[in-house]
Amino acid sequence: MTRILLILGYLVLAPAAGALLDGADRVISARMQRRKGPSLLQPFYDLQKLFAKQMIAVNNVQMLLNLSYLVFLAIAGAMLFAGQDILMCMFILSTADMFLIMAASSDSSPYASLGAGREMLQMMAYEPLTLIIAVGFYLTTGSSHVSDIVHASSSAVWLMPGMFLGFIFTAAVKFRKSPFDLSTSHHAHQEMVKGLTTEMSGPTLAIMNIAEYYEMILILGIFGLFIVNENWWSWPLAVLVCLVIFFLEVLWDNASARVKWDLLLKGCWTVTLLAGGLNLLILMLVR
């Protein structure tokens, strides 16, 4: 029964929580740039406006692919919060990204096609570390099931500090923050219009936004796994750590310029090898 409630809680509350974080992102970014900016609830108003628009798609398959992107992200997050295998969650998360790439590639827009290509490059940059993290949790706790990880005697971050710091670095790619917002951007500084979302509008774009909110909470949930343990006080601490990480991502977004694709790959792979790879090697030697 508890597992069902957790799944329903994620499916219902994650979009609202993600929209609130998106609104907080806009407010904080506006204050950093010394402007008033929108209200905290602006993402909700945007979704209402998008769903009220006429349904127009460049082809018949784009909406289906966008819905698949949403559904697979919802499944991955539901599995994570229900205590299932974290490695399977990572695989489903990667599958969801492939549907997004196919949705952007399904039209003839050069901007969307270029954004889809860059999205594939970004997947090549961050995927190795996410898989290393899943293996790290297994070596640290003796299980890859989230339900076992959260009941460990101590927080996994003590044995996985390199992976934790590396994940903060690569999470900027998943959050679509500078300097890694190559494929698309939430702000009006993308040099190729809106990249892979250029041809998405109305309900199609609204579904894309909701899917990103699911993904945002999923990524923050993985950060929380580094902190939580069998002690009750680790849960509010994990929430606090997640909020601090999100603020640091917003700060990094406003303080840095976009890098080129080759520097993205070099940076993420270097972090993966030095932070994730060395941490994994040490875990294999001591466990």
Q: Over the stretch 35-91, which tens digit does the pLDDT of each residue have? A: 888 899 999 999 999 999 877 666 778 888 889 999 999 999 999 999 999 999 999
Side-chain half-sphere exposure of 236, counting CA atoms within 13 A: 2
* pLDDT (average), residues 158-186: 88
**Which tokens belong to 265?**
């790959």
Cβ(40)–Cβ(27) below 8 Å: yes
Q: Is 85 helix (H, G, I), strand (E, B) or coil?
A: strand
Distance spanning both ends of the chain, measured CA to CA: 35
**Which tokens belong to 111?**
């901007």
What's the pLDDT score for residue 106? 78
**Which tokens belong to 64?**
């289906």
pLDDT band for position 191 (cuts 50, 70, 90): low
C-alpha distances in angstroms, 164 versus 128, 134, 197?
14, 12, 30
Percent of the chain with pLDDT over 70: 95
Q: What is the mean pLDDT of the chain?
A: 88
Please give the Cα distance from 69 to 201 (Å, whole number).
16
Domain containing 265 equals 2-286
**Which tokens belong to 185?**
């951007």
pLDDT band for position 1 (cuts 50, 70, 90): low
| For residue 179, cis peptide bond before it (omega within 30 degrees of 0) | yes
* pLDDT (average), residues 159-186: 88
Percent of the chain with pLDDT over 90: 54
Domain count, the chain: 1
Task: Using a cut of 0.85, tell me whether the model's pTM lies above it.
Answer: yes
- pLDDT of residue 193 exceeding 70: no
Rounded to 5 degrees, φ, ψ at 245 are: -60, -40
